[in-house]
Amino acid sequence: MSITGTVKVLVVVAPNGNLKSTKVVGGHPLLVNAAMDAIKKWKFEPAPEESTGIVEFKFQPQD
């Protein structure tokens, strides 16, 4: 089974670079777990203050 779709995740990164929170803001329900598993493995650079952004994951089958 090949599912194509996009998942958008709101991420909040603490000043120390640790992921503070995530919230799915859109996307295919069957792809949400894969997107969340991936983002939890990411490493972020420390910053002077908390950072917020939307990360978009695009899923498409490989040929």
What is the C-alpha to C-alpha distance for residues 7 and 36, in angstroms, rounded to an integer? Answer: 9
Do 6 and 56 contact (CB within 8 A), yes or no?
yes
* pTM confidence score: 0.86
Give the total number of structural domains in the chain.
Answer: 1
The CATH number of whichever domain residue 42 belongs to comes to 3.30.2420.10
> Could you tell me the residue range of the domain that residue 33 belongs to?
5-59
At 1-56, the pLDDT tens digits run 688 999 999 999 999 999 999 999 999 999 999 999 999 999 999 999 999 999 99
